[in-house]
Amino acid sequence: MITDYLHPTSAEVAFSTLTSLGSRARLVGGGTDLSLHPPADVDTLIDLSTAGLGGIDRDGGGITIGATTTLTEMLEYRPLGDVWSGVVHTMLARVASPLHRNAASIGGHLARGRLSDVIPVMLALDAAVRFFDGSPQQMPLVEFYATRRNRKPLVVTSVRIPSDGGRAAFRKFARTTYDLAILNVACAARFKGDIVTSARIVVGERPSLAVPLTHAAGLLVGEILTKESIAHAATVASDTIEVRSDPRGSAEYRRHLTEVLVRRCLTEIQEGQS
Amino acid sequence: MNLTVNGAAFEIDVSPSESLLDLLRSLGFKGVKNGCDNGDCGACAVLIDGRAITSCDYPAAAANGKDIITVEGLAKDGELHPIQAAFLDTGGVQCGFCTPGMMLAALDLLTRVPDPSDDQIREALRGNLCRCTGYVKPVEAVRTAAARMRKVTHG
C-alpha cells in the first residue's frame, strides 16, 4: 500500500531519500508501470518529475536525453530522426499508443530494464547511461545491464546516444501493433565505404532483458553486407540466442523470429547503405 | 495538492495510492470512464498540460500543479466543441463509452496537427479501444472536426 508520495527537487535528494528508505521506496519516472503494479513491500513513491531531469540536448558528438523526458518528447525531437537512419523514431512510433508515450519516460524504461522496445535500440546504438549513486556516473548501457548495475540503488539522470554516423534498423513482432513484443531486434552498423567497421545485433523480449549478440555481429565486421553475409549472421544469431517460453511465445518460436528479424534489420541497413 | 480541472482550481488532499482516474471521478468528472483500469483501453483519457494520457495508470499525486482537461471541459458557453459536434454529426459516438477518451486523444492531435491524414488520425486513436468495434465513424468524426476547426481558425 502506497502511503507516501514525494517530489524531490534534485537527483541527489531523490537518491538520498531512496537509500534512507531502502526497499520500502521506488522511483517514479512516468508512473505508468508502478502505479498499476506497485510492489507489495513498497510504501513510498519518489516522483522524479520535479528533479530537473527533463530536456534533450544535442552537441557535436551526440544527443543527451534527460531521464524524465517522455517518449513523445523524443518522438517529436527532430534531430533524433536525423541520426542512425531515424531508428529511434521508427521504434518509438511502435511503442504502445500515444496515450502511453505521453506519460512514459525514457529513464523509467532504462531503470526497469524489461518489457521494452526502447532498450534494444539504445544498446544497439552504443548509448551511455548517466546516473547518480552518491556521485555522478556514466557507463555504457551494455555494461549497466551486464554488471547488473541497474539493480543497485541509483537515479538514472540521462541517456546519451552517439551521433557519429552509421545506420540502424529495428523490427518488432507482436500479436497486434499495440501489444508488447513477442521478440524485438535492433541492429546497427558503421561503415568505411561498403565495409562494415563495427556492428551490433541486439535481441530483446527473449523474454529476458535484451542482449547483444557479439559473436553474430562480429561476423559482419570487415565484410560487405550481402544476402549471404546477412543470412549467415542471422543464422548464427538464431543458433546462439538464449530464449525461453512465456505466455506470449514459445522458445522455439522466438528462436525462429530471431533469424527472421535479424535478417530483415540487416537487409534494411544494407538497402539504406547502397 | 493543487491542480486545475477544466479551468477550475482545486486544492485537495489525495491518497498517495490513488489514480488520477479515481480522483477525477471522485471530484464529479464522470465523463472520465473506468474501462479496463489497466492502461489498455483509453476510456479514461484526459489531457494533462495539453497531452492525452490514460488517467488510470497515472498517479493522482503526479498531477500536482498540472492543468487537466476532461470531456466536461470541451463545451463552452452551451456550445459543443467542434470535436463533440463532429462525433454527433457523423455517428462517431456509437455506444458512447469510449467517446470521451477518443475526443481528448483527437484534441491532442488536432492542437498539433490541424490537417491530419487518416493514418495520423488512426495513430492518434490507437490507444482508444471501441467496444462497438467500429473505428470508421470516429475517424470520420476527427477528419470532420479538423476541417471545421481549420475553417474557424482561417475563416
- The per-residue pLDDT string of chain B (155 residues; one tens digit each, 9 = 90 and over) reads 999 999 999 999 999 989 999 999 999 999 999 999 999 999 999 999 999 999 999 999 999 999 999 999 999 999 999 999 999 999 999 999 999 999 999 999 999 999 999 999 999 999 999 989 889 999 999 999 999 999 887 76
For the domain made up of B2-73, give the CATH fold: Ubiquitin-like (UB roll) (3.10.20)
The span from the CA of B26 to the CA of B22, in Å, is: 6
Residues in chain B: 155
Chain A positions with Cβ closer than 8 Å to B: 1-5, 7, 28, 31-36, 38, 44-45, 47, 49, 72, 93, 96-100, 102-103, 177-178
* CA B75-B76-B82 angle, 5° bins: 50
Are A182 and A196 in contact by the 8 Å Cβ rule? The answer is no
Give me the pLDDT at residue B14, please: 93
Give me the pLDDT at residue A139, please: 97
Tell if the CB–CB gap between B52 and A28 is shorter than 8 Å.
Answer: no
| Phi/psi of residue A234, nearest 5 degrees | -65, -40
The span from the CA of A102 to the CA of A271, in Å, is: 33
CATH C-level class of B82-154: mainly alpha
* Domains present along chain A, CATH in parentheses: 4-48 (3.30.43.10), 56-162 (3.30.465.10), 167-273 (3.30.390.50)
Give me the pLDDT at residue A178, please: 80
User: Which residues in chain B have Cβ-Cβ distances shorter than 8 Å to A4?
Assistant: 16
Mean pLDDT to the nearest integer, A149-160: 95
Closest Cβ opposite residue A72 in set B51, B62, B126: B51
Q: How far does A135 lie from chain B, in Å, by closest CA?
A: 27
Q: Chain B: residue nearest A30 by CA?
A: B58
pTM confidence score: 0.95
Amino acid at A256: H
Q: Chain B: residue nearest A179 by CA?
A: B40
Among B15, B54, B107, B133, most A C-beta atoms within 10 A, so best to mutate, is B54
Closest Cβ opposite residue A102 in set B53, B56, B62: B53
User: Which residues in chain A have Cβ-Cβ distances shorter than 8 Å to B122?
Assistant: none
Give me the pLDDT at residue B155, please: 63
Tell if the CB–CB gap between A100 and B127 is shorter than 8 Å.
Answer: yes
Per-residue pLDDT of A91-137, as tens digits, reads 999 999 999 999 999 999 999 887 899 999 999 999 999 999 999 99
Parallel, antiparallel or unpaired: strands B67-69 and A44-47: unpaired
User: Which residues in chain B have Cβ-Cβ distances shorter than 8 Å to A103?
Assistant: 48, 53-54, 57-58
User: Which residues in chain A have Cβ-Cβ distances shorter than 8 Å to B17?
Assistant: 1-3, 38
Parallel, antiparallel or unpaired: strands A44-47 and A4-6: parallel
Query: Would you list the domain boundaries of chain B?
Result: 2-73, 82-154
Among B2, B3, B34, B57, most A C-beta atoms within 10 A, so best to mutate, is B57
Q: Chain A: residue nearest B36 by CA?
A: A36
For residue A274, pLDDT beyond 80:
no
Report the share of chain A in percent with pLDDT over 90.
86
Tell if the CB–CB gap between B58 and A32 is shorter than 8 Å.
Answer: yes
Closest Cβ opposite residue B127 in set A1, A49, A99: A99
- pLDDT band at A238; cut points 50, 70, 90: very high
- pLDDT band at A140; cut points 50, 70, 90: very high
Among B17, B19, B47, most A C-beta atoms within 10 A, so best to mutate, is B17
Closest Cβ opposite residue A1 in set B17, B51, B61: B17
CA-wise closest residue to A233 among A257, A254, A216, A255 = A216
Tell if the CB–CB gap between B61 and A103 is shorter than 8 Å.
Answer: no
The span from the CA of B44 to the CA of B29, in Å, is: 11
Q: Chain B: residue nearest A35 by CA?
A: B57
Provide, for chain A, the percentages of residues in helix, strand and coil under a 3-state DSSP scheme, each rounded to the nearest 5: 40, 25, 35
Are A99 and A200 in contact by the 8 Å Cβ rule? The answer is no
Give me the pLDDT at residue A131, please: 98
Amino acid at B70: T
User: Which residues in chain A have Cβ-Cβ distances shorter than 8 Å to B53?
Assistant: 99-100, 102-103
Average pLDDT, chain A: 95
Supply the DSSP symbol for B114: S
CA-wise closest residue to A151 among A209, A207, A106 = A209
Mean pLDDT to the nearest integer, A213-231: 98
Instruction: Report the complex ipTM.
Output: 0.94
User: What is the residue-wise DSSP string for A231-244?
Assistant: HHHHHHHHHH----
Per-residue pLDDT of A51-100, as tens digits, reads 999 999 999 899 999 999 999 999 999 999 999 999 999 999 999 999 99
Q: How far does A202 lie from chain B, in Å, by closest CA?
A: 27
Closest Cβ opposite residue A47 in set B19, B62, B123: B62
Per-residue pLDDT of B86-97, as tens digits, reads 999 999 999 999
